[in-house]
A = this chain, B = another copy of it.
């Protein structure tokens, strides 16, 4: 079912754009295309279910055609299709069908690109069309183009940063208000910063999809997101921020990928970061990505990682890049990474272990024995006064060693009877 055009069609010679999905991102893209008239882009179609209640947006050019049928878009003369639906299906099939129909595709869909990116790039190349996904990571922060173009001359080996605003908000709340994780999460849900089911955000699944995309683009490794180990932020308590402060650190959900030959270290987990690091100062929905290269050293990209308008900027930038390159459709945009590195979470870092115990003599001795047996050196023992002896939190920091060694020690420690709750284990990023 199509709405009939009620105004003259756009002039020829411009690049015609169709949008699938008129939610937060789709409508922001439509607004930028409508307001910025000198881009050579023309919005021609919007595909959305039940569009009748949406199509009355007064700011849309009258020539825009609405439909609820993807086939209308596939059969149209649109050059570029913007996928702003999200999720794996039907978005995946719609993107495939758009490419097969000879359209180039721009998508903000991190899960689709993380899971099916190489296949979709391959399909786009077969069809001599482009697929671009700059909006799929860090919203408006131009990190995909930065890694792909601006730093193409370097050999990057490390990419890390803060890719999830929900975790950032929750951790900041625990830090500033001393509330529990549960209270901070409920607060974030009430304010619309967290979804009803917050699993993807707090357990790191959202960030690892983005990290897999960054690793493909910047480290040229074909990384399966499910191979990236994630640890939830849900174990973090206010007392961890107090101890972190004593160590001149704070706690953030950090996504980290580092290439070492054919091995790719990659995790998404809460970690201690120095108060002087740019990571410590990321606020709210801000995202920050740092890359390190053999020649150029460290580069920082930061900005708004979420929201309709910042994400739409990334989408429109991709549309413009495709429009510029359209005469030469063979020009490669996204490339399929050549290598398939072995992914491991076994980073070597300093470590923060926070215990909660029923106090009695001999606890430190028992723990020290286990660390010593595992070949791990203790760096410091911190204990703040003022807690109940029946549930006493204290911290042991360890010198640089592999995470797997620490996990082995924690396995042995978990059998000790003075523990009130499992040990909280965070890497310390220096």
**A32 to B299, Cβ gap below 8 A?**
no
Chain A residues within CB distance 8 Å of chain B: 28, 32, 36, 134, 140-146, 149-155, 276, 278, 281, 293, 295-304, 309-310, 312-321, 324-325, 327-328, 330-332
* New A-B pairs, 13, CB < 8 Å, besides A154-B316, A324-B332, A325-B325: A142-B299, A145-B149, A149-B149, A153-B318, A154-B317, A278-B281, A295-B310, A296-B310, A297-B303, A299-B302, A299-B303, A300-B300, A327-B330
Q: Which 4 A-B pairs have the closest CB atoms?
A: A142-B150, A153-B316, A328-B328, A153-B317
Nearest Cβ in chain B — how far from A159, in angstroms? Answer: 14
> Which residues in B have their C-beta under 8 angstroms from that of A299?
140-142, 301-304
**Residue A142 contacts which of B141, B151, B314 (CB distance < 8 angstroms)?**
B151
**B317 to A149, Cβ gap below 8 A?**
yes
**B153 to A319, Cβ gap below 8 A?**
yes
Q: A149-B149, A301-B301, A331-B325 are in contact. Are A295 and B312 (CB under 8 A)?
A: yes
> Which residues in B have their C-beta under 8 angstroms from that of A310?
295-297
**B296 to A313, Cβ gap below 8 A?**
yes
Q: List 12 A-B contacts (CB under 8 A).
A: A140-B151, A140-B296, A145-B150, A152-B321, A153-B314, A153-B316, A153-B318, A296-B313, A299-B303, A300-B301, A328-B331, A331-B331
Nearest Cβ in chain B — how far from A15, in angstroms? Answer: 13
Which residue in chain B gives the minimum CB-CB distance to A154?
B313
- In Å, the complex CA distance between A340 and B385 comes to 66
> Which residues in B have their C-beta under 8 angstroms from that of A155?
36
**Residue A151 contacts which of B295, B317, B325, B327 (CB distance < 8 angstroms)?**
B317
> Which residues in B have their C-beta under 8 angstroms from that of A332?
324
Residue of A278, A313, A324 most packed against chain B (CB within 10 A): A313
- In Å, the complex CA distance between A302 and B297 comes to 11
> Which residues in B have their C-beta under 8 angstroms from that of A154?
140, 313, 316-317
- In Å, the complex CA distance between A36 and B152 comes to 11
- In Å, the complex CA distance between A334 and B170 comes to 43
> Which residues in B have their C-beta under 8 angstroms from that of A143?
150
Nearest Cβ in chain B — how far from A84, in angstroms? Answer: 14
**Residue A152 contacts which of B28, B276, B302, B320 (CB distance < 8 angstroms)?**
B320
Q: A299-B302, A313-B295, A328-B328 are in contact. Are A321 and B149 (CB under 8 A)?
A: yes
**Residue A153 contacts which of B32, B293, B304 (CB distance < 8 angstroms)?**
B32
- In Å, the complex CA distance between A140 and B150 comes to 8
Nearest Cβ in chain B — how far from A317, in angstroms? Answer: 4
**B316 to A152, Cβ gap below 8 A?**
yes
**A327 to B331, Cβ gap below 8 A?**
yes
Nearest Cβ in chain B — how far from A279, in angstroms? Answer: 12
> Which residues in B have their C-beta under 8 angstroms from that of A318?
153
**A324 to B316, Cβ gap below 8 A?**
no
**B295 to A309, Cβ gap below 8 A?**
yes
**A300 to B297, Cβ gap below 8 A?**
no
- In Å, the complex CA distance between A191 and B58 comes to 62
